Amino acid sequence: PVSLAGLTRLMARLAAAGKAPRLLCANTAMGVEKYYPSDGDAAAVYRWDPSAAALDGCTVVEVKDVAELLAVAPTPKGGLAVGASVSITALIDALEGAAGEEGGDEEGKEGGGRPAPYCVMARHLRRVANVQVRNAGSWGGNLMLARSRPAFPSDIAVVLAVAGATLTVLKDPTSLATTTMSVEEFLSSDASLPLLLVSVELPPLPRSSSSGAPPSRVFSTF
């Protein structure tokens, strides 16, 4: 499918046929999900289960070409909205671009030399996985993996949660009716529910004032 409407129609047809499809963007998760149990059993982490990531017998639906899931745009409130199929690398580029548009210099720094908040996020996301995975894998897929595998340590989930990001999801993937929830609510939701992640909205983060005075709150990661 190339549109969200087309995706929901396909999901409805598959549901009517009694099939529970697996949605994939780049399938980079297959390299790590086999090491993390879906029940969150910490004692079972790193016990390789080759069947955990198997797609045998699954109906696979690719979402990498769904236009709405690839959208990147500023929000009316000065934040940033990013579709769930956007790659981690493209998310990094969008954050750095937004930081520049907000007044940061070519290195994404504010007048006082402090990195702009979006650049702090981008810098942290560069630590996720490796170049190949960041280029192919989506940030949305990373969150879906963290939701289905509670023991999986997702840096992306942490950064988005701390930033106060809001997720737009389809609670019923056969319908276009959306709802919003926090990252924490999404990750703690019942993994058996077929939520479809559509996008994330990042709020404008605190910055230095025009006079160079530091903000009352500083966004930083380690």
Length of the chain: 222
Q: What is the pLDDT of residue 105?
A: 44
**DSSP structural state of residue 199:** E
Indicate the pTM of the whole model: 0.87
CA–CA gap between residue 147 and residue 157 (Å, rounded):
10
Q: What is the pLDDT of residue 103?
A: 46
Each residue's pLDDT tens digit, 116-159? 889 999 999 999 999 999 999 999 999 999 999 998 999 999 99
Lookup: tokens for 62: 């690719």
Asked if 72 contacts 61 with a C-beta cutoff of 8 angstroms, the reply is no
Q: List average pLDDT for each run of 10 residues in the chain, which is 222 residues long.
A: 97 94 92 78 55 69 97 95 98 93 50 70 95 97 94 95 96 96 97 94 75 63 81
User: In the prediction, which pLDDT does 128 show?
Assistant: 96
pLDDT at 216: 57
Give me the pLDDT at residue 106, please.
42
* CA nearest neighbour of 146 among 129, 163, 137, 158: 158
Contact yes or no for 152/30 (Cβ under 8 A): no
Q: Answer whether 198's CB lies under 8 Å from 83's CB.
A: yes
The conformation of residue 193, written as its DSSP 8-state character, comes to S
- For the chain, list the domains and their CATH numbers: 4-202 (3.30.465.10)
